[in-house]
Structure 1
Amino acid sequence: MSVFSVPSNPVEEKLEIEQSTILLVDDEEYNLDILVQLLSVKNYRIRCASSGMEALEIIQNEEIDLVLLDVMMPGMNGYEVLREIKKSPRQFLPVIIVTALDGREDRIRALEGGSDDFLTKPIDKYELYARVQTLLRTKHYYKQLISANQRLEIEVQNRTIELQRALQELRRLNEKLAASHREIVEHLSSAAEFKDPETAAHIQRISYYCGVLARGIEMDEEEADLLIQASPMHDIGKIGVPDHILLKPGKLTAEEYEKMKEHTLIGYKILNDSESPLLKLASEIAISHHEKYDGTGYPYGVSGEEIPLSGRIVAVVDVFDALTSRRPYKEAFSNEVAYDIIRKGRGNHFDPHIVDVFFENLPEILYIQNKYQD
């Protein structure tokens, strides 16, 4: 059954209403006896109070469904009791004012004080039954509504807990997947180390350099993190380049250089056709990081912003690291020489904005360079 539905079984509803508790409040014992006799035939549970203070104490300590309240009482009169009942934070408690006063002002005063109905003495028993039953039915539906709301709150809490658990599990699986991707990166990047012993620290520096530039251009945090993870695989294609070319101590011939350039395509083929955002980005970097801003790079000779941003970033840091690192075919250049080459390449080899960001963040670049030595 839905938490919003209300039971429609008339037998159950009638039984619950008949078992309601009614509080009679009157300082005259005779009046109380008459009301008790009239209402007892309906199987209601009856409680009696002979003063306003006694009535409020009963209401405070017991579950009352309806109050029949006399007005003319010594000490605290009915209007004052009514005011105390209606300002209580307790659940809805209907009140019928019962009085010998039948003036218009008295009725208005009772209704303005929060009375739910009004009976004039002498009481007609059929009118009494009708008004009592109407307000008890209202109280009954109110209690059902409160119960339904409580069930709904519990259901919402339970569903919220289930959702939180599902989200936690999803985060755990995502973290596990990310860890698996990082492991793939490490293994693939390590494969290049077997071909080129200089690669180990180089790929670390490239990764951290890319992080510096990504933050410098205010790249989205998630994209920056992917770039940091993917950039170490930029030269993975070198595992397909013959050793006599890759490790040649002297200058490459034109034919050998063409063979060396194929590492961009090889890397792309290794990393492409994956649903992983990390490997997709890595394949993009592999094939684009040797393109030049003026279109004279390889393998496709694209230019400007046709070159993926990831490739333009890696191009700057890869050249800087290659210039300042020892290779089989050359000794390391000084940082100053590398700076000069990069500045001269601004706008032709490199994206001008990436070059500017590189020099704006040079202290952090140098910190990484010193920390991760070959």
Structure 2
Amino acid sequence: MKVIVVDDTRINLTLMQHLIKRLDDAEALLFEQSAEALQWCIDNDPDLIVVDYMMPSPDGLEFIERFRAAPEKQDIPVLMVTANNDNEVRYKALDVGANDFLTKPIDNKEFLARARNMLALRRSQKALNDRAAWLAEEVHKATLEIKRGEQETILRLTRAAEFRDPETGAHIQRMALYSQLIARKLGWSAIEQELILASAPMHDVGKVGIPDQILLKPGRLDDQELEIMRKHAQYGHDILHGSQSPLLQMGAIIALTHHEKYDGSGYPNMLKGEDIPQVGRIVAVADVFDALMSERPYKKAWPLEQALDFLKAQRGQHFDPACLDAFFDSWEAINEVRIRLQDRL
């Protein structure tokens, strides 16, 4: 336990150093210059500070006040030593953060008793902090387990959809990463970015409810078939909504809104502009771009420039301009993902 003694009189420092040696597990660090001691105490974590009142600037009161103003220094015990019996000085010392007092000339037994009590308090504080840190780590571990469980559930849901959908797993990875990059450019926090990365793959989970003859049809769908296909957005929402999990909550919103269009011509609810949740507007850009670039039973993959021209042409119509700008502002990273996760033929 580090006991810092601050006094401008050398003999007083020597006396207290000898007394501190009689305490269990305690080491004295001595300072004649209060400014030097203050800086050391701010830069480090003492366990007890014994500071004289009458010193050149900063005196004991200013020392304590400035020390307490430093971050995370509010709980470290401070014992003020003074020859002044004026109660006003003690009141001021209490106001600025002193925990206890000793009056000169120092009584050895009193000093040892007060120092021992304060170090016991400090040990208890440290034990409590260690316990809090341990509990925080255990909560973190438990949270990670819950997240892993959620992610496994999501993975299995998306795989269930993949078994019936000609779209590839690489498509799901790419569009999720595109969505994360767009969200990052739009200023989303790191936690929010992780959330969209994990939940975007659920965007088409509702396709498990679409009949095979429609889902796997090699040609274009007729109007009646298209109407049935479009129900997958609502189906996906119905599968995912109502959960307490933020991950599944976002997944439900994405499933329902990623086919809405900025001009109000999308489905299933013909939402317009910012009435569409931003996460749906983000995924719309990511999903359409990757769908255009991917081969399907009913179409060939588009050339890159043609796909990019289509996105630009749909600015303010299909796509939110802000989300589209974020996509193009992130193009270097998006293109790296596109190349790295190409479909294996």
- Give the alignment's TM-score, normalised by structure 2: 0.69
Aligned residue number for residue 188 of structure 1: 157
Equivalence map 1:200-239=2 (5 Å): 200-239=169-208
User: Per the alignment, do residues 186 and 89 of structure 1 end up closer, same or farther by CA in structure 2, a change over 3 Å counting?
Assistant: farther
Partner in structure 1 of residue 313 of structure 2 = 344
Matches within 5 A, 1:287-306: 287-306=256-275
Letter in 2 for 1:172: K
Q: For each residue in 1:315-344, what CA deviation from the matched residue of structure 2 results, as whole angstroms up to 9, or x when unmatched?
A: 011111111111122111111111121111
- On the 8 A contact 1:192/1:199 being kept in 2, the answer is no
Q: What is the alpha-carbon distance in structure 2 between the residues aligned to residue 242 and residue 356 of structure 1?
A: 37
Once the two structures are superposed, residues 258-316 of structure 1 have per-residue CA deviations (whole angstroms, 9 ceiling, x without a partner) of: 10010001100111111111000010100000001011111111111111111001101
Stretches (4+) displaced over 6 A: 134-137
Aligned counterpart in structure 1 of residue 131 of structure 2, from 150, 155, 162? 162
| Cα distance change of structure 1 residues 89 and 328 upon mapping to structure 2, 3 Å threshold | farther
- Distance verdict in 2 for CA 1:255–1:88, change over 3 Å: same
Structure 1 residue 254 and structure 2 residue 202: aligned? Answer: no
Paired residues for 1:17-166 under 5 Å: 85-88=11-14, 90=16, 139-166=108-135
Q: Secondary structure at the match of 1:325?
A: coil
What SS does the aligned partner of 2:219 have? Answer: coil
Query: What 5-or-longer segments of structure 1 have no aligned partner?
Result: 1-82, 94-111, 117-133
The answer as to whether partners of 2:157 and 2:202 remain within 8 angstroms in 1 is yes
Q: Is 1:266 the counterpart of 2:235 in the alignment?
A: yes
1:249 to 1:156, Cα distance in 2 relative to 1, 3 A: same
Q: Cα gap change, 1:300/1:85 in structure 2, threshold over 3 Å: closer, same or farther?
A: same
Does the aligned pair in 2 maintain the 1:216–1:361 contact within 8 Å?
Answer: yes
Structure-1 residue corresponding to 2:293: 324
Separation (CA, whole Å) in 2 of partners of 1:86 and 1:140: 16
Residues 87 and 292 of structure 1, relative CA distance in 2, 3 Å threshold: same
CA RMSD of the aligned region, Å? Answer: 2.5
The answer for unaligned runs of 5 or more in structure 2 is: 1-8, 20-53, 55-80, 84-102
Q: How far apart, in 2, do the equivalents of 1:216 and 1:135 lie?
A: 64
How far apart, in 2, do the equivalents of 1:220 and 1:261 lie? 32
Partner of 1:18: none
Matched length: 256
Match of 1:367 in 2: 336
Larger Rg: 1
* Identity %, equivalent residues: 40
8 Å Cα contact 1:346/1:355 also seen in 2: yes
**Matches of 1:220 and 1:230, distance apart in 2:** 15
Task: Kindly provide the amino acid, as one letter, of the partner of residue 355 in structure 1.
Answer: L
Change (3 A) 1:205 1:87: closer
- Residue type of the alignment partner of 1:274: S
**Cα distance in 2 between the residues matched to 1:147 and 1:170:** 34
Letter in 2 for 1:195: R
Q: CA deviation at 1:139?
A: 4.8
Change (3 A) 1:258 1:89: farther
- Tell me the amino acid that sits aligned with residue 205 of structure 2: I
SS of residue in 2 equivalent to 1:326: coil
In the alignment, does 2:124 pair up with 1:198? no
Question: Which amino acid letter does the alignment assign opposite residue 255 of structure 1?
Answer: Q
Q: 1:91 offset after TM fit, Å?
A: 6.1
Deviations 1:147-177 (A, max 9, x none): 2101101111111111111011011111112
**Cα displacement (A) at 1:84:** 5.6
CA contact (8 A) 1:92 1:142 kept: no
Counterpart-to-counterpart distance in 1, 2:266 and 2:10: 87
Against the structure 1 CA distance between its residues 318 and 152, is the aligned structure 2 distance closer, same or farther, given a 3 Å change threshold? same
Identify which range, 279-288 or 362-371, moves more after superposition: 362-371
For residues 104-136 of structure 1, what are the alpha-carbon distances to aligned partners after superposition, in whole Å with 9 as ceiling and x for unaligned? xxxxxxxx9x997xxxxxxxxxxxxxxxxx999
CA distance in 2, matches of 1:275, 1:284: 14
Q: In the TM superposition, what whole-angstrom CA distance separates every residue of 1:85-119 from its partner, at most 9, and x where no partner exists?
A: 334261698xxxxxxxxxxxxxxxxxx9x997xxx
